[in-house]
Structure 1
Amino acid sequence: MRARTVGSLPFIFLLFLTTGHAFALEPPRSGHPVFDRAVQLVVDNFHDTAALDRFAATVRHEIEDVPLTAKSSQAEVDRAIDTILASLGASHTARFKRDTIDYFELVDIFRFAIRNDMRRLFPPDGEVNYAGIGMVTQSTGPRFVTDVYDGSPADRAGILVGDEILSVDGAPYREVESFRDKAGRNVEVRLRRQAGAEPIAVKVAVERLRPLRTFERAIENSVKVTEHDGRRIGYLRLWTLSTADGLDIVARELATGRLKDAEGVIVDLRGRWGGGPADAAELFVGDTPTFRLINRNGKETLANVRWRRPVVAIIDEGARSGLELFAYALKVNGIPLVGTRTAGALLAGRAYLLPDDSLLELAVSDAVIDEGLRLEGRGVEPDIPVPFSLPYAAGKDPQFDAAIEEMRRVLAKG
C-alpha cells in the first residue's frame, strides 16, 4: 500500500529565507533604535497582515501610554518588545538575547540569514559557540532541567531531567553566564533530585559547544538497543531536523549501524527545534526502495534508506515546527504516537539581527498541509496520551516506558 505523505515543500521550516513584502503601514516611532527596528521588521515581514492592526495598536499603547522613549531602560525595552510580539499570537515570533542558550542555537540554525554578521559576532571564523555543559532548564519558581543532550558534559556527569538546579560554583544559575570563560575547567553544580532532599554537588566539565554539532552528536549518542521479551527494540532521539548531517546519521544507524538488527524502533521527537526538509519522515513511511551504490572496491554509499519494520514515536510540546510535521506524517501513516500534544507551532520563520545584536525571529509564511490543514495553534494529538511530570523526575520517563510497552505489543501481535 502506498504511504501517505505530506508533500515536499519548496522551503525548510525554521530556515525560510524569502523576505516578506512591505505592508503599507507607517508605524509610530519611540526613538529607541532596537524597539523601532523590531516594529519595522514586523510590519515589513510578518506573514499575517490581518494581525498588523492589532500589532499597531499595541505599539501605540507602548509608545504613548507607557511611555517608551529613547531613554527607556533596557528592562523597559525588553518588556515592550515582548509585549508587541505577543500581540501577534504566532509561533516563530520572539526575540532572543545573548544571555540565553536559545540565542546561540537559533543563530546557528539561521546562520545563512545573518551570514554577513557571523564573523563579527563570533570572531575570527564566524562559527557559533558558547561555553556550556549541554543542559537546558526552565523556571517558574524553582529551576528544573528540561533537557540533557545525549553525550554532553551534563549527561556524562549524571545530571537528570527533572533535577532542580540550585547553583553553579556557589552562585545563582545563569544558563550562559555561569559558564562564561570556564571552558576546559570543571564547575560544581548543586542540585536537588527529590523534593525536600539534601542538595547534591556534581562536578561538570565545561566545554565550548557548537550548537548544531552538539545536536548531531546528541542524536548519534541517543541511539541504543535494548532487549524486551527476547526482542531487540531500538531507540533514537531527533533533537532537531536543522543540522546538516542529523538525518544522515539516523539513516546510517538504521541501514548499517546499531539499529540495523532491531526489530522495531522508537523515534523520540521530544526535541528542541524543528527545521529540516518537509519530507523527513519518509525515512519511516516512504515507499521508495532502499538504494545503495557500490564502487569497484566494494565500498558502499547509501543513496536512499527506508525503514520497513515497526515504529513507535514519542511526542510532547518539544515537537514543534518541522518535528511537528514529522509527527503528523507518522500519525497519518498509522504509526502510534505516545506522549502529549505537540506544540502547535508550525509556521515558517526567518531571523533578523536587531541593532543590539539580539535575534528577532519572525513568522514570515503560513504553513498548510494538503488542502487546508494547519497545525499552528492546534498541534498533533497522541494516540496514547501519557503525561510527564518534570519536577524531580529523577530519571523516570513514563512516556518512554509507555512507548516500549506499545512496541512490545506491536511486536507480539506480529
Structure 2
Amino acid sequence: MKTGNVLLILAIGILVGGVGHAVFADGGTDRSLKVFSMVYALIQKDYVDPLSPKPVLTGAIKGMVASLDPHSEYMTPQEYHELEIDTKGKFGGVGIKITTNGKNILVQSPIPGLPADRAGIKAGDEIISVDGKSTSALGLENAVHMMRGRAGTSVDLTIRRKGAFQKKDFVLVREVIRIHTVHERMLTSRIGYIHVQEFSEDTAKEMKEAIAGLLSKGMKGLVIDLRNNPGGLLNDAVDASSIFLPENKVVVSMKGRRQFHEFHSRNPRPYLHFPIVVLVNTETASAAEILSGALQDYKRATIMGTQTFGKGSVQTILPLFDGSALRLTTARYFTPSGRSIQDYGISPDVIVKQIIPRGVKSIKVPREVNLKHHFLNPDGAESKVSIPLDHIQFHLPIGRIPLKEDNQVQAALKMLDKDLRSGGQSVGFARPKSSLSAG
C-alpha cells in the first residue's frame, strides 16, 4: 500500500502468480547472509529482554522488501487476508473509510447508512483509540483490522472532533459491509455522473449497469469521477476501459524483466456514441490512471482536473506456504501510446484545480515522486518535462463536497453541455489516433 495519506480500502494492481527460486548474482550474497546470521545471533543472545524469533525475522523480511520501492511489501497472514477481503468488497465492519496525515488517523468519510454514519461520526474526526488501544501505537493497518470483525460484535472507538468536543466514545455494532464501488446519478436531464471509488472484482460490472441505467433516463453525456481513486485490480481496469473503446484495442502494456504483455479491450458492444469527461486529481492512482490514460490516448474522453498520482508499476501477489504473501513489483505499465506515467502521472487535457469551500477541512497528500525509494520514469520524464505547479493540487478536501458546490464537477458539466449543444465536436468523440489502432 502507499504510505502517507491513503484510504484503507486501497488495493494496488494485483496479479496472482507462483513463487520462483532465488538466484544469487555474486559471491557477495553469501557474505551478507553470514553478517545477517551473526547480527540475528547477537540479538538473540545479548538483547536486553528475551525475544521471540518470529517477530524479529518478520521485521527483517519486511525491512528487506520495503527497501525495494514504496509498493512492494511482505504481508503476514493477517495482512494478506485483509487484502483479499478488500478486493472482494465484502467484510464485517462499521462502514468507515480512514486515512492518515502521517501522525494521526482521520476519518476520510463514513459510508452513508452504516453504523459509523448512524452514530454521528463525521469526515475529519480523529480516531484516538480502538477498543482502548491508542491508534498512534496501532498504526493504520492494525487499526483497520481491529475495527473489522464478525457481524453483530461491537467495537469501541474514541473520537476527537476539533471545535465540537475534546473526546467522545462510540460503541458501534459491526455489520456485513458490502462496498459498492460505483455510484451514479443524473446531473441534468442529459448528463449522467458516475463516481468510481476503486477497482475491485465487480467494478466494471457495476459501471456497465450504472451506464445502462443512466442511458434509460436519457443520458447524452457522461462525467466519470476518478478523483481519490487509489486503484485496484488491473483486470478490472481493463474491463472498465473496454466499456468505452472499440474491441481489441491495446488498453495497457506491462514490461518487466521476465514478462511483456498487452491487455486488449474485450467488449464487443462498447459505448462509443456519447461524450465523456473524466475527473482526476492527485489521488487518482494505478488502475484509475490506466483507465484515464487509455481514454486520453484514444481521444475517447477529455481528462479534467489536476496531475494524477503517477504510479506506473505493477505488483504481483506471490502467496507463501505459511499463509503470508509477497507483493512484489514485477513490471512497469504503459498507456496505449507507450507512455510511462511513473512519477509523472497523467496530465489533464483541461486543468481545473478544486476550490475547497470555506469550512471544509483539507489534508496534504503526496504523489508517487514524494515516496521513498520510488522508481524513476524510464523515459526520463522527470528531467525532460517540468510539471507546472498549476497541474498539481497537494491539498484535497476530507470528505465529499456536494456536487452543486464542486467546481470541478460543474466545470465538467459545463463542458459537456457545450459539447452537446455544438453537436459533439469538442470532447469525448471516439476517433482513435491511427498510431494507436494496432492490437
1:144 touches 1:162 (CA, 8 Å); kept in 2? yes
Equivalence map 1:12-411=2 (5 Å): 14-19=13-18, 22=21, 24-25=23-24, 63-64=37-38, 73-89=53-69, 91=71, 93-97=72-76, 103-108=80-85, 130-139=91-100, 140-146=102-108, 148-149=110-111, 152-155=114-117, 157=119, 159-168=121-130, 171-172=133-134, 174-181=143-150, 183-185=151-153, 187=155, 189-194=157-162, 197-199=165-167, 204-209=172-177, 214-215=178-179, 217-219=180-182, 222-227=183-188, 233-243=191-201, 245-257=202-214, 260-269=217-226, 270-277=228-235, 279-282=238-241, 285-287=244-246, 304-306=269-271, 308-316=273-281, 318-332=283-297, 333=299, 334-353=301-320, 355=322, 357-370=323-336, 372-382=338-348, 383-384=350-351, 386=353, 389-390=362-363, 395=399, 397=401, 401-411=406-416
Q: 1:260 to 1:352 in 2, by over 3 A?
A: farther
User: What is the percent sequence identity of the aligned residues?
Assistant: 21
CA distance in 2, matches of 1:94, 1:407: 38
Deviations 1:37-74 (A, max 9, x none): xxxxxxxxxxxxxxxx9x99987775555778786655
Name the SS of the counterpart of 1:379 in structure 2: coil
Alpha-carbon shift at residue 265 of structure 1 (Å): 3.0
Give aligned pairs, total.
Answer: 332
Separation in structure 1 between the aligned mates of residue 321 and residue 19 of structure 2, nearest angstrom: 17
Contact 2:200 2:232 (8 Å CA) reproduced: yes
The one-letter amino acid of 2:407's match is A
Kindly tell me: are residues 254 and 268 of structure 1, through their superposed partners in 2, closer, same or farther at Cα, counting changes over 3 Å? Answer: same
> What is the distance in 1 between the residues matched to 2:34 and 2:191?
57
Question: Structure 1's 234 and 256: CA in aligned 2 closer, same or farther, altered over 3 A?
Answer: closer
Instruction: Please state which structure has a larger fraction of its residues in strand.
Output: 2
How many Å separate the matches in 2 of 1:365 and 1:61? Answer: 31
Alignment correspondent of 1:41: none
- The letter for the 2-side match of 1:164 is E
The residue type paired with residue 106 of structure 2 is: F
Cα distance in 2 for residues equivalent to 1:56 and 1:380: 43
Q: Deviations over 1:139-162 (max 9, x none)?
A: 322211235456654355554443
The answer to whether the 8 Å contact 2:305/2:408 transfers is yes
Unaligned runs of 5+ in 1: 1-12, 29-52, 112-127, 289-301
Of 329-338 and 165-174, the range deviating more from structure 2: 165-174
Contact kept? 1:168, 1:188, Cα under 8 Å: yes
The answer for unaligned runs of 5 or more in structure 2 is: 1-11, 45-50, 136-142, 248-266, 357-361, 365-395, 420-439
Say if 2:198 and 2:230, in contact at 8 Å, map to a contact too: yes
Q: How high is the TM-score relative to the length of structure 2? A: 0.60
Measure, in 2, the Cα distance between the counterparts of 1:58 and 1:405.
58
Most deviating of 335-344 and 256-265: 256-265
DSSP-derived class of the 2:108 partner: strand
The whole-number CA distance in structure 2 between the counterparts of 1:161 and 1:56 is 52
Partner in structure 2 of residue 40 of structure 1: none
User: 1:59 and 1:306, CA in 2 relative to 1: closer, same or farther beyond 3 A?
Assistant: farther
